[in-house]
């Protein structure tokens, strides 16, 4: 269990995909000073409408730009941040930078929704909701453009204080997304009590659906349920044109994945939109004849 990680100890994990072989070791002290020094920065992955190919928003994915160890992925510092009491500061710091970026894009006429991942630990205290509201105010971002993602596996059996805080975020106008849907054990009761606005299908279902009929049946039922509940449906891990076509055929509204784009620094996104936006539009025109 990541939350029971030894206090103060180094976090040993595997090298980043594509990175050098060997383990990257980081300590909580290093992480704390990296957060303060703004070495933790947001990358952005586009969320695309599978029917039109249009980019609707971005998901914020934290990266640690370590001066010696290179780009460290979140799997190697989020668990440490959670066990060492650093996750609150990390989230506010990354969200602050992301909202500043979104505000700059808005000034240039680029209106994108922004999704931020939330650790369940942040939902235990009311402070975060207040800070989140302050950030939206500071950068003049409409709450409707912000989505908070909570993984299905982090939904506790007893929602406790989390339910009130999720409801507060929703009442401010923000969207709430169930992330990695299919990997947790959310009950019908939780699905009906939390005012979710979006459901994100975990990439493992996208991957498996081509070969396994029963996975397609499960996917179809989840997508049907979600759309009847008026939730926006999103598929993660769209890695090929076939993935896109399959999920679109099952009625999934939005998609994210390497076929569309890898997470990228904010400065690169406008140029990517210019070049790749056209490719995605053409992709859709080629596979979906206009009706």
Q: Enumerate the β-bridge partners of residue 86.
A: none
Q: Enumerate the β-bridge partners of residue 72.
A: 64
Give the Cβ contact number of residue 120 at 10 Å. 17
239 interacts with ligand C2E by CB under 6 A: yes
Segment 148 to 177, residues that bind Mg ion, using CB under 5 A:
149
If the CB atoms of residues 10 and 120 are measured against Mg ion, the closer one turns out to be 120
Site string for ligand C2E, 129-168 (x = CB under 6 A): --------------------x-x-----------------
**How far is residue 213's CA from residue 62's CA, in Å, rounded to a whole number?**
35
24 interacts with ligand C2E by CB under 6 A: no
If the CB atoms of residues 107 and 244 are measured against ligand C2E, the closer one turns out to be 244
List 78, 141, 146, 176, residue binding ligand C2E (CB under 6 A): 78
Give the Cβ contact number of residue 65 at 10 Å. 16
Give every CB contact of residue 123 below 8 A, 6+ residues apart in sequence: 150, 161, 162, 165, 166
Contact 112, 58 (CB under 8 A): yes
Indicate the SS3 state at residue 272: helix
If the CB atoms of residues 30 and 203 are measured against Mg ion, the closer one turns out to be 203
Q: How far is the CB of 269 from ligand C2E (least distance, A)?
A: 15
129 token code pair = 């909701």
How many residues of this chain bind Mg ion (CB under 5 A)? 5
Q: How far is the CB of 219 from ligand C2E (least distance, A)?
A: 16
List 152, 180, 198, 276, residue binding ligand C2E (CB under 6 A): 180
Q: What secondary structure does DSSP assign to 85-131, as a single string?
A: T-HHHHHHHHHHHHHHHHHHHHHTT---EEEEE--GGGGGSTHHHHH
Q: What is the greatest pairwise CA distance in the chain? A: 59
65 token code pair = 């730009």
Stretch that binds Mg ion, among 40-48, 132-140, 228-236, 247-255 (CB under 5 A): 228-236
Q: What angle do CA 128, 267, 247 make, to 5 degrees?
A: 75
Q: How far is the CB of 179 from Mg ion (least distance, A)?
A: 4
Stretch that binds ligand C2E, among 4-12, 25-33, 208-216, 254-262 (CB under 6 A): 254-262
Is 198 a known active-site residue?
A: no
**How far is residue 62's CA from residue 116's CA, in Å, rounded to a whole number?**
9
Indicate the SS3 state at residue 288: coil
Q: How far is the CB of 200 from ligand C2E (least distance, A)?
A: 7
List 76, 91, 113, 117, residue binding Mg ion (CB under 5 A): 117
Q: Which residues are at the interface with Mg ion (CB under 5 A)?
A: 117, 149, 179-180, 236
Q: Could you list the active site residues?
A: 236
Q: Which residues are at the interface with ligand C2E (CB under 6 A)?
A: 45, 61-62, 73-75, 78, 91, 94, 117-119, 149, 151, 179-180, 203, 236-239, 256-258, 263
């Amino acid at each position: 269990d990541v939350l029971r990680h030894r206090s103060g100890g180094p976090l040993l994990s595997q090298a980043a995909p594509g990175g050098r072989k060997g383990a990257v070791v980081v300590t909580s002290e290093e992480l704390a000073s990296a957060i303060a020094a703004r070495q933790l920065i947001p990358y952005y992955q586009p969320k695309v409408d599978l029917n039109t190919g249009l980019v609707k928003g971005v998901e914020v994915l934290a990266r640690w730009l370590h001066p010696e160890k290179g780009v460290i992925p979140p799997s190697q510092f989020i668990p440490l941040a959670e066990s060492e009491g650093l996750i609150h500061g990390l989230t506010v710091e990354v969200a602050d930078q992301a909202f500043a970026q979104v505000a700059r894009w808005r000034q240039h006429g680029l209106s994108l929704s922004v999704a931020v991942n939330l650790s369940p630990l942040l939902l235990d205290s009311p402070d975060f909701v207040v800070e989140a509201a302050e950030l939206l105010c500071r950068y003049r971002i409409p709450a409707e453009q912000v989505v908070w993602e909570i993984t299905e596996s982090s939904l506790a059996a007893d929602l406790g204080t989390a339910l009130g805080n999720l409801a507060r975020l929703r009442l401010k106008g923000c969207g709430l997304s169930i992330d990695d849907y299919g990997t947790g054990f959310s009950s019908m009761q939780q699905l009906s009590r939390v005012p979710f606005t979006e459901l994100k299908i975990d990439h493992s279902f996208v991957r498996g659906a081509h070969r396994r009929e029963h996975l397609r049946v499960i996917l179809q039922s989840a997508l049907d349920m979600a759309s009847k509940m008026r939730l926006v449906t999103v598929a993660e891990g769209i890695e090929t044109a076939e993935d896109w076509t399959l999920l679109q055929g099952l009625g999934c509204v939005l998609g994210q994945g390497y076929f569309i784009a890898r997470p990228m620094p904010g400065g690169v996104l406008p140029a990517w939109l210019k070049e790749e936006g056209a490719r995605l539009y053409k992709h859709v025109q080629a596979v979906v004849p206009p009706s």
